[in-house]
Amino acid sequence: MKIGIIGASGYAGGELLRLLAGHPEFEACTVTAHSNAGEEITRVHPQLTSYAGERFSAFEAKDFDCCELIFLALPHGESANIISSLHEGAKIVDLGADFRLEDGAKWAKYYGGDHAGTWTYGAPELPGARELIAKSSKVANPGCYATAIALGIAPAASIADVTDVVVVAASGTTGAGRSAKIILIASEVMGSLTSYKFGGVHQHTPEIEEAITRSTGKASRISFTPILAPMPRGILATITMKLQPAVTSKQARLAFEKAYMDEEFVHLLPEGQMPKTSAVLGSNFVAIQVAVDEHTNRLIVSVAIDNLVKGAAGQAIQNANIMCGLPENLGLTGQGIGA
């Protein structure tokens, strides 16, 4: 299949190119980057040696008429501006936030501006999502934090109070994008941790709440504090919820075993083994561990993902595979890099 990528000079776009280079059915034939148009791909992404000699082009909608599948890897708010110019027959996966939310008021509060609409939410492992993705021609890829946190909450909806969820999650600097920011330079980041978007204002909050409510039928409310970690990539989320009375550690673990026993990309780790970001780097895998704090009767869930793969490009390809009727794991079977 001929594939197009709009906005391929960023970190998520680079990961799309890397994963597509090893995909047996998808061929990237039209690759654009607005500010980097005309540059060689390997000047921006030197690791992508299979693209040597190829250049980013400027965006022209007609150049995508040959594409059966298009990935949008643009900053939030930009996908909605170009979607009407793309041909109607293309399947589209948007890695941005433009079509993730159902509530227009929440879009206005957390992002600002007009709400562009809602596409099928592309979180295949959440209950009921895979079937909807398979029938869709347009899919909104989840955010990176939202992926880790929703997967850590959903199985607990039957045993815990999902209306009072507390999340603290650390992410590598690539989660903030590739544009230059003082807070992201090495001198500011290395050897330091800092919270940001403090006080429940992170834009993934309503996305997570909608995803949990949609997939479990239960209203959800979370208090989310993100942390910038001194590493390029990876997310480690710690999620706590008040358990229903008399729920044991064994029952809590069983809820997660049942939820993910048939999921190739979600691994509930053996008891005593904790998720770590290095174990999933470069992969589309999710590592999860659960425990019960008997002192407070709270469920504790730890989740690790690579924010650029399962949190962005890998999940986008996973969604595309489903949309195109292909095996879900095509191009995504690579293991984590490790230490």
How many residues are there in the chain? 339
> How far is residue 221's CA from residue 218's CA, in Å, rounded to a whole number?
10
Out of 29, 66, 67, 144, the active site residue is 144
Burial per residue of 13-51, b for 16 or more beta-carbon CB atoms within 10 angstroms, e otherwise:
bbbbbbbbeebeebebebbbbeebeeeebbebbeebeeb
Quickly count: other Cβ atoms within 10 Å of residue 114's Cβ.
Answer: 11
State the distance between the two ends of the chain, measured CA to CA, in whole angstroms. 35
Sign of the alpha-carbon dihedral angle for 11, 16, 19, 21: negative
Asked if 29 is an active-site residue, the reply is no
Cα 322 to the center of its chain, rounded Å? 16
Closest to 59 (Cα-Cα) out of 42, 38, 45: 38
Which helix (H) or strand (E) covers residue 161, if one does? strand 160-171
The residues pairing with 31 across neighbouring beta strands, listed in sequence order, are 5
Task: Please choose, from the candidates 209, 294, 284, 283, the residue with its C-alpha nearest in 3D space to the C-alpha of residue 250.
Answer: 294
Active-site residue set:
144
